Amino acid sequence: MASVIDQAIPDQAFEILRDRIGLILAEELAAQYILNSFPGNAPKVFVERFAQIDATECPVINVMLDRGDYDNQDPTTARGTFNFSVDVYTTAASKTGGVRGDAASVIGLHKLMGICRAIIQDARYIRL
């Protein structure tokens, strides 16, 4: 049977949103690392990375589509609700200034999670 669709199917809204979230996080995190004088480099931001993350790469952010539910579908339109995951990976030396590495890593993780949340919920990004 020959193909009946004779036009390229464009990127779907969830693909555009996922990529936009990744770009926003990459740009804003780079700025936050400068504004807050954080040590080291800003996190690398990936979109839909499935390869294992090595500790030497940290800090790392991975933006992934988690779930999409459609309603009100017809042959020309569909409305949907999509959830995205923003996974944050950190590491720390075994002992940093008297703080155990696991504790230092979690503190860094929570800091990054808070910054990511603040970026994504900023009113200027209400319409991606």
Q: What is the pLDDT of residues 24-43, one digit of tens each?
A: 999 999 999 999 988 888 99
pTM attached to this predicted model: 0.87
Please, which residues bridge with residue 45 across strands? 61
State phi, psi for 94 to the nearest 5 degrees.
Answer: -60, -30
Residue 19's identity, in one-letter code, is D
- Among 87, 90, 105, smallest CA distance to 55 is for 90
Interval 81-86 mean pLDDT:
94
Structure tokens at 36: 């807050």
Distance (Å, whole) CA 120 – CA 125: 7
Degrees (nearest 5) of the Cα angle 18, 20, 25?
100
Residue 124's identity, in one-letter code, is R
How far lies 40's CA from each of 34, 55, 65, 106, in Å? 10, 14, 28, 16
Cis-peptide into 59, omega within 30 deg: yes
pLDDT value at position 96? 67
The model's pLDDT over 39-49, given as tens digits with 9 standing for 90+, comes to: 888 999 999 99
